[in-house]
Structure 1
Amino acid sequence: MIQKALLTIGITAFVLSANAQTAKKTTAKKIAPIAKTTVKPMTQLDSASYSFGMKIAQGLKSDGVTSLNYDLIKQAMHDVFTDQTLVVNDELAGKTIGQFLQKISKAKYAVAEEAGKKFLEDNKKNPKITTTASGLQYEVITMGTGVKPADTDTVTVHYKGSLVDGKQFDSSYDRGEPISLPLNGVIPGWTEGVQLMPVGSKFRFYIPYQLGYGERGAGQDIPPFSTLVFDIELMKIGS
């Protein structure tokens, strides 16, 4: 009887163990394997196409463009590459782009433009300041006794340039040597202003953006619509 009971217990244990192993295998089969995601490699044409789009967009974004009609950009490129009849000609396209960017720039730098106007309006109240018909303002620091240059002359000058907030963007004094330049090859404010100076003079000029670098500015240091302040020392006429 004891042997029979032991045999029964052994068989039961074996069956339970087998069922447990089967359950584990069944459970294991139900776990889905982790899917491997593969990124489709870009062809050279794909990579170049994306890169062209990226660089064009970065350039436009730096000019203040925030969005465009992407379908029409795609259509225009398709029309050019497949020699289709274009909706606009080159002249109209250039004019349209210019007007579009000008509008964006004007809105972006409206605060700077107004600040420059206010600065000049306040500045002209100073009795030391003379304002010309063009809007150029100047202050005599030292009046020389030499001759005045013509707009076709080359002059040698020392100068320092800054924005109305005092930020300096250029200085021949810092470089330790004056510069020679033709008066008909500089910004209008310089062309007009330096002709007012006898050799040996030092003037401070306050130049409205229209007589400076205009609505485009110059590089990173002179934003669009910037009113400029220049200290100019006229050393001689001729290179």
Structure 2
Amino acid sequence: MLSFPSIFSPYRSMMFQKTCFFTCGLLAALSPLQLIADDSAADVVPSQEQMMEAFGYFSAFQMGLSNLGFTAEDAPAINRGITRALCDTEPSPEMMQMVQGEVFQSFIQERVQAAQAEQEEASNAAAAGNIAAGQAFIADLKAEDAGVEATASGLHYKVVESGDADKMPTMEDTVLVHYKGTRIDGTQFDSSYDRGEPATFPLNGVVPGFGEGLTKIGAGGKILLYIPSELGYGNNPRPGGAIEPGDTLVFECELIEVNPG
């Protein structure tokens, strides 16, 4: 039976789960291509070899091999490893010793760190424009609406209804809240109203600006929150979501219930 060195054991133990998630992710990545495919291609029956080549292409693309610095020149060596794995061939003692050694681990770690640095640089560049736009948005907001207040952290907010002063939450409490979240251009990224039911959050388990903002009203109150990126998702929001790096977020919140922590 094929055995794995200890550094790969977490991947081996989750292999079947990851296979499912990877396949689903790969199909999701392929689905947009259906929108641009030539209708005439529907009558063409691809060969098994063509389908396997396409699967190999999108597998490598989905795994981000190029982002880790691998090139076409590396393909023969990578393919030899894939061939051995598909044959369930036992790795040689030399290979086992190599992958557990410092040289191999440095080889992988350097590529991962380089990819992370490149991604961070791209995120920071994308964030710069959004941060500036958010600052301008809040400056205009304050100039136009005297009801907008600010905290020392940089959060801006406007109390619409103050709610019950005897039932104001602290950061240790859990709240039941209805909310809608948008970017400053009005693009909605989340809404409990659309789901038809309020959400329950521990205030110390959400982004800092959201938690701090809800401490400004009591149960039954309503508030508008203007959360700069450093109090929201920063330069690294969830990949593929509507929130972009550096986005200032706008929340309309209705505090329904406060449960002491």
TM-score for both structures, normalised by structure 1: 0.66
Describe the SS at the equivalent of 1:221: coil
Q: Which whole-Å CA distance do the structure 1 matches of 2:63 and 2:137 have between them? A: 37
Match of 1:237 in 2: 258
Match of 1:114 in 2: 132
Unmatched segments (≥5 aa) in structure 1:
1-40
- Once the two structures are superposed, residues 8-64 of structure 1 have per-residue CA deviations (whole angstroms, 9 ceiling, x without a partner) of xxxxxxxxxxxxxxxxxxxxxxxxxxxxxxxxx85999776544323334x97xxxx
Q: Which whole-Å CA distance do the structure 2 matches of 1:122 and 1:43 have between them? A: 57
Indicate which of 208, 233, 237 corresponds to 1:213: 233
1:132 aligns with 2:151: yes
Match of 1:18 in 2: none
Q: Which whole-Å CA distance do the structure 2 matches of 1:76 and 1:201 have between them? A: 63
Dislocated runs of 4+, deviation >6 Å: 43-48
Indicate which of 48, 63, 71 corresponds to 1:56: 63
Q: Which whole-Å CA distance do the structure 2 matches of 1:132 and 1:72 have between them? A: 55
Name the aligned partner's letter for residue 168 of structure 1: Q
Q: Which whole-Å CA distance do the structure 1 matches of 2:104 and 2:76 have between them? A: 10
Q: 1:95 to 1:151 in 2, by over 3 A?
A: farther
Q: 1:236 to 1:43 in 2, by over 3 A?
A: closer
- TM superposition shift of 1:190: 1.2
Structure with greater helix percent = 2
* Contact 2:184/2:249 (8 A) holds in 1: yes
Name the aligned partner's letter for residue 206 of structure 1: Y
Q: Which whole-Å CA distance do the structure 2 matches of 1:73 and 1:225 have between them? A: 36
Q: 1:178 to 1:50 in 2, by over 3 A?
A: closer
* Contact 1:215/1:224 (8 A) holds in 2: yes
Q: 1:53 to 1:171 in 2, by over 3 A?
A: closer
Q: Which whole-Å CA distance do the structure 2 matches of 1:207 and 1:187 have between them? A: 9
* Contact 1:124/1:131 (8 A) holds in 2: no
Name the aligned partner's letter for residue 248 of structure 2: T
- TM superposition shift of 1:123: 2.4
Sequence identity percentage: 35
* Contact 2:69/2:111 (8 A) holds in 1: no
Indicate which of 195, 210, 214 corresponds to 1:175: 195
- TM superposition shift of 1:151: 1.3
Q: Which whole-Å CA distance do the structure 1 matches of 2:110 and 2:214 have between them? A: 39
- Greater Rg over alpha carbons, structure: 1
Indicate which of 104, 122, 132 corresponds to 1:104: 122
Q: Following superposition of structure 1 onto structure 2, how do residues 1-239 of structure 1 map, counting pairs within 5 Å?
A: 42=49, 49-57=56-64, 70=71, 83=98, 85-86=103-104, 88=106, 92-125=110-143, 126-145=145-164, 146-218=166-238, 219-238=240-259
Q: Which whole-Å CA distance do the structure 2 matches of 1:147 and 1:119 have between them? A: 32
Describe the SS at the equivalent of 2:115: helix
Describe the SS at the equivalent of 1:88: helix
Describe the SS at the equivalent of 2:209: helix
Q: Which whole-Å CA distance do the structure 2 matches of 1:54 and 1:95 have between them? A: 19
Unmatched segments (≥5 aa) in structure 2:
1-47, 83-94
